[in-house]
Structure 1
């Protein structure tokens, strides 16, 4: 007789792991027990050597579909006790290991079939869930992941549900979100005066979910805006084909141009208005259910205001039961689904806040009475060079950890990310847990959300202290200031990490490589020389980095205002190539309307540039793309992040290859730099000559890409490395990324890009954590 104690770490809570172990044990004549012990699953298995070995193998090979096993540690123990059966024991509050509960997952097919089965007692119940699907991260309050530690503790199970919940052979055994309309959360429909909208003459709370959802679909289809509380937050929902409604939504939210994401019932419907690759289809149908940015088709028929000017649109499939129910009661091909939040602030999750703050936007409110502990925005993916790149890694993925044990010893690390597109990371026992999307910490409520989310993730990872805290090098970021405040609390050092070094570390981790050259192309990152970087070529071995090439530095008159109004940046760039009087005449004749204050502002900007008063410098690729966009008359004001360059990409994709714009690489102190002033002058001259805007846009992107890749190839040759990568938000641009990839590979080098992380700032905390790990 052999007795083994087994500890399994990974995503093994809330996924039916213990009942699965129970079934495998019974099948293999194993006696003993299984239980959650804080952050791991502990198993004692007693049986013959043959049965025990088979049991241990099958617990890995036959794990539940949602489970992920990071490690299995087995030790043989003395047979001090003979077990007579195999049991599932009550969870322990003791903490061991570094596991975590899984993220929220889309409703599974089994639950959907039950929800649509008239003979099933959960027929048309919009909160149906089991161990394979439903909310996890958004409802957990504490560990271990048991019902009493979730917001479901407010809903005692009825007799039918508890029978399933306590049966180890049932798929809902300890499915903590399980419930039905007798014992679980319910929907309510309110009008904008916060008064419950009675669907039938039945008493309050009795109107069936089907009637409520059917009424909600009808209200949407006749032109109303609804606030719908979901799993991790609230969406504002509207018709995609009603011009008045979508414009009203834009005006109310003050999102004049920012594209809205949409939800459609199925892949076939999406293909009536968008082009999908097989990879995109697979991501859309995955259990994580992200928003996927796809190309509009030639038959695209939504209102222009849904995704103005852009050639692509963010789409997703239903992931909650009531999303599916909604589409069962409408012929609409899609609904706008945009986060319900005040711009820059977190999504609303409290019913009272939703109704009070959105009463002037939403006509009706479809709400439920299950509390959300952790708000969690939709994840967003875009395929670039046939590889997925996260724009936002959140619902469906967070807080699933990355394994960075190759970089770190057994130390606890907190990494706080940048400032605008913030996630944070906690490293414990070699696993790096990345938070959900936090957002812009310049906003007070978002900064509060960041601190609350840190406390909560510490709680569910059983992290009590830190050995080091990592943050961005920028001294004015709120995350940098928070790092120094937390240093005093946890009595540990703070290490600052250069923005693009962190980008490079994520890229290296994603591709399992330590030494390479990479192009960092984005909007801005605080440089070691205290200027704004964003068009750089680095060599790195992960431990350190060298900046060995860049775009030429350009002045930014007025600092950050040049990012909002790129005509100011264009003026600075062209000043290197044009006589001041000629430049002024050009600006007055062709670009005066892009200046807030017309001709007077043109004079002021030129004076600023001459005096260097309130003028910073930048090598940002994002600023160059914005300048090309305004130079071509495509976009003269940034109303959302990346707007000008995104619209440039969408116009340029229509261009042909008839133009080639020359570029020049200068050497400054032996450092190669791409001359962007000459590039912009060529753009202006081509526009004046009457060339097509789309062709100029395409040629300018290619010239910029070839210039950056040529410098990277030169540096790779000098440093002797064989791999060149691309990181930063500019690498979401398909044309730029492909041109750089093709140029790198045609010169005999391997090109790497992001695969399971964000090219933009959303994964910066992961890079900071890796670098801090190596510094320890």
Structure 2
């Protein structure tokens, strides 16, 4: 307890602090500030956040509150602070009170999981420390948070550490406000905390504690594949310099080409295999510890099959004590560290999950007995030059996106897309985007979605009053929205896929004025029944106008064309009037069948997708005919083009259809020119580079046209195609030179992982624009 002196002129305030103020050392911080400012009273965690009762002179209280706001612990975040006069109680000292779950206001935010801090790391490798080489060392500045929490307020009984009874030494730390482990909910040591164990592929235990760690290191050095339980789920790991080990992992995981992430032993090790800029270095070492996409150094120390056909490699640094122990003194400096799951299924969370899904993949299982309550994949970012998310999950979720100063009382849910799914729940002026869920085409992902929704809505203590969903009638998320709305009598709002993309940018930037939005992606259901994906839109709040789009072409075979991308190439060549039947007998027959399907309009839906355009061009110029993962061909085109010096793109035409119809970007001339260059012997790198410049020039020309026509200078860029760093850079440089105000996703991914935020933002616009929301639309 902190003793304070009293002054005659005193008053009392209740200070309610909302935001990320639980599990980040906020109460000990307030306790110390109270002593420095001679404040009496107490602080407690509640569902409303941290509540402080403070008594002191007006000058003391003013200085105290100012310091509370501006000298925060590293991971604390204040989103609201409210002061209310209360009766004077003549406190004799300042104390930290037991947490309370009762509160009518809700503003507490669960902190994300945090990478191990320098203090804990130093203790981890100090031989005399009682936590020497203990894989679960943590304090108030680091360790698991969201992954272990079950309910608010964030206290040990409400986490998956509740079954671990603190030993006397850990209890002393936990109860001491001056200790950095004061109320560190995962606090533990070898005497009282979780333990690590090693199992073979039959899930028979073969080692425990330090022996398990030593054997795990030895097995990795021998080229074995390990399933390793981490903070948010299991990883599959192997030596990233061992070509045979990586190839075995690819075959067993049935992942022939998609790049693997690599964990490096140190920043220096990361720098030996990649080029690292200042912002990338900051991200690598940040407490969030995301995977950062970095340009490869060549020749590489990594096995060639870690990230084949790609100029970049995803690298992360160790973020748990267990990771650091795995590298300490080992013969390897790089480990493949990829999400442990079957293809398109969620990351394994429990031992049962791992045993079922990974038994034929992993040689050994490195397991611990601290339950994971909320599963989380690793986050992925890149610098373009600002930070851009590819996947937003561990280290960032559940931090909210602020939606400006119009909170509203209705919780809006954006149910997300069918691929790279997330969902979003609003509470006041905060939007909480869920962790990465994944592809919604299997029962395990659907179960994960429902589980994550129930848990996040329970944490936030919200119940959606409006559900915003994609227009596609066949999506699971659309069915979920309708099911929930029917059962709970709430309003449904349909949001076109590409409008949601642009709206996600507006949500991040809080722009309320009209914008010209470019949404380039794979496929999204259009309100005319075709598959959109090359869109220029005018978006203002919940309303939009389709200003322009790329020319339609047919996807012969429907979904098959997203995997067998030669079908996209065949359709583009046919549209351009080019007869390019292959000489090979079998391929010639398939090609002709595809052309016949297009001619008869059988199972050949029309699309204007820029993503599928990239696929078709990749096939035409000989990069590949089939893909094993989404955007594979486009990534390879970018990798070929990124260092190729080309300034001029291909000629193109923009057609005016007359009346109020949108303009159409003709692809015919583009395809004819690149086909001619291919026949003339130009390299795929040359053609890819010119194609990138062409798309950037089309964007610039459309932006200039509609600025002149509509008097709008704000541009929003979104959609998965804008993950292409080369293309985004070309577009940004052109638009900024023309004086546009350009906005793009920085808080959520531009791919379908950001769709839920855009849906929720559109839903809130409907609510704010309709005062009769409670009954009229139910």
* 2:3 corresponding residue in structure 1: none
Query: CA 1:171–1:710 in 2, change beyond 3 Å: closer, same or farther?
Result: same
Q: Does 1:23 align with 2:21?
A: no
Q: Deviations over 1:620-640 (max 9, x none)?
A: 000110111111111211211
Q: Any gaps of 5 or more consecutive residues in structure 1?
A: 199-204
C-alpha contact (below 8 Å) 1:407/1:774 kept by paired residues: no
Contact 2:404/2:510 (CA < 8 Å) preserved in 1?
Answer: no
* 2:191 aligned residue: 182
Choose the corresponding residue for 1:737, options 723, 728, 743.
728
TM-score when scaled to structure 1?
A: 0.95
TM-score (norm 2): 0.95
Aligned residue for 1:305, secondary structure, equals: coil
Q: 1:485 aligns with which of 483, 486, 489?
A: 483
Which residue in 2 is equivalent to 1:537?
Answer: 536
Distance 1:249 1:313 in 2: 17
- Whole-angstrom distance in 2 between the partners of 1:122 and 1:536: 56
Residues 241-640 of structure 1 correspond to what in structure 2 (within 5 A)? 241-384=241-384, 386-463=385-462, 465-514=463-512, 515-578=514-577, 583=579, 586-589=580-583, 592=584, 597-640=586-629
Which residue is 1:661 aligned to?
650
Q: Does 1:110 align with 2:119?
A: yes
Q: Distance in 2 between matches of 1:405 and 1:749?
A: 23
> By how many angstroms is 1:659 displaced?
6.3
In 2, the alpha carbon distance for the partners of 1:453 and 1:558 equals 35
CA distance in structure 2 between the partners assigned to 1:27 and 1:408 by the alignment: 35
Q: Check conservation: 2:507, 2:757, Cα contact below 8 A.
A: no
TM-superposed CA distance for 1:711, in Å, is: 1.4
From 712, 727, 738, the counterpart of 1:747: 738
1:678 equivalent in structure 2: 669
SS of structure 2 residue aligned to 1:298: coil
| Offset at residue 745 of structure 1 (A) | 2.4
Separation (CA, whole Å) in 2 of partners of 1:137 and 1:623: 37
Cα distance per residue 1:267-300 (max 9 Å; x no partner):
2111111111111111111100000111101232
Pair 659,88 (structure 1): closer, same or farther in 2 beyond 3 Å: closer
Which residue of the other structure, out of 202, 211, 220, is the alignment partner of 1:193? 202
Cα separation, 2, equivalents of 1:94 and 1:489: 28
Tell which deviates more after alignment, 143-152 or 664-673.
664-673
Do the aligned residues in 2 keep the contact of 1:226 with 1:238 (CA within 8 Å)? Answer: yes
Distance 1:508 1:469 in 2: 19
Deviating above 6 A after TM superposition, structure 1's stretches of 4 or more consecutive aligned residues are none
SS at match of 2:305: helix
Distance in 2 (alpha carbons) for counterparts of 1:39 and 1:184:
30
Kindly indicate whether the alpha-carbon contact (under 8 Å) linking 1:39 and 1:143 is maintained by their aligned counterparts in 2: no
Q: Distance in 1 between matches of 2:311 and 2:346?
A: 28
Counterpart secondary structure, 1:190: strand
Q: Of residues 71, 74, 77 in structure 1, which corresponds to 2:86?
A: 77
Q: CA deviation at 1:751?
A: 2.3
For the structure 1 residues 424 and 658, does the alpha-carbon distance in structure 2 shift closer, same or farther, using more than 3 Å as the test?
closer
For 2:15, the equivalent position in structure 1 comes to 6
Would you say the 8 A contact 1:39–1:461 is kept in 2? no
- In structure 2, C-alpha distance between the alignment counterparts of 1:91 and 1:310, rounded to whole Å: 51
- Looking at structure 2, the residues matched to 262 and 294 of structure 1 have their Cα atoms a distance apart, in angstroms, of 11
Q: In the alignment, which residue of structure 1 is the partner of 2:166?
A: 157
3-state SS of the aligned residue for 2:247?
helix
Could you tell me how far 1:118 is from its partner in structure 2?
1.7
Which digits, 9 at most, give the CA deviation of each residue in 1:390-444, with x for residues without a partner? 0100000001111214354121112111111111111112211111000111111
Contact residue 310 and residue 647 of structure 1 kept, 8 A: yes
CA-CA distance at 1:78 after TM superposition? 2.6
SS in 2 for 1:520: strand
Distance 2:14 2:687 in 1: 67
Mapped partners of 1:397, 1:659: distance in 2: 40
Mapped contact 1:659–1:695 kept (Cα < 8 A): no
Q: Is the 8 A contact 2:581 2:592 kept in 1?
A: no
Aligned to 1:202: none
Paired positions, count: 754
Report the CA distance between 1:660 and its aligned residue: 4.1
Deviations 1:573-617 (A, max 9, x none): 1112226xxx1xx2223xx58xxx522212211111111111211
Distance (whole Å) between structure 2 residues aligned to residue 157 and residue 508 of structure 1: 47
Equivalent pair of 1:526/1:533 in contact (CA under 8 Å): yes
- CA distance, structure 2, for counterparts of residue 716 and residue 555 of structure 1: 31
Q: Contact 1:405/1:429 (CA < 8 Å) preserved in 2?
A: no
CA distance in 2, matches of 1:668, 1:556: 23
Among 38, 63, 71, the alignment partner of 1:62 is 71
Partner deviation per Cα, 1:68-109 (whole Å, 9 max, x = no partner): 000110011232x22122121111121332221101010111
Q: What SS does the corresponding residue of 1:679 show, helix, strand or coil?
A: helix
Contact 2:148 2:373 in 1 (8 A): yes
Q: The residue matched to 1:152 in structure 2 has which SS?
A: coil
Partner of 2:632: 643
- Kept in 2: contact 1:275–1:294 (CA 8 A): yes
Cα pair 1:432 1:766 within 8 Å, conserved: yes
Output the CA distance in 1 between the equivalents of 2:70 and 2:263: 35
Conserved 8 A contact 2:133-2:325 = yes
Greater mean deviation of Cα atoms: 397-406 or 618-627: 397-406
**In structure 2, do the counterparts of structure 1 residues 659 and 413 end up closer, same or farther at CA, with 3 Å as the change threshold?**
closer
| Secondary structure of 2:19's aligned partner | strand
2:775 corresponds to? none
Structure 1 residues 647-656 or 605-614, which shifts more? 647-656
Equivalent position SS for 1:710 = helix
Q: What secondary structure does 1:153 align onto? A: coil
Distance 1:39 1:435 in 2: 21
Task: Check the 8 A contact 2:500/2:762 in 1, yes or no.
Answer: yes
- The equivalent position to 1:726 in structure 2, one of 711, 717, 723, is 717
| Distance in 2 between residues matched to 1:89 and 1:258, nearest whole Å | 51
**Secondary structure of 2:166's match?**
coil
Q: Report how far residue 523 of structure 1 moved.
A: 0.4
Aligned residue number for residue 233 of structure 1: 233
2:415, 2:471 → 1: CA distance? 11
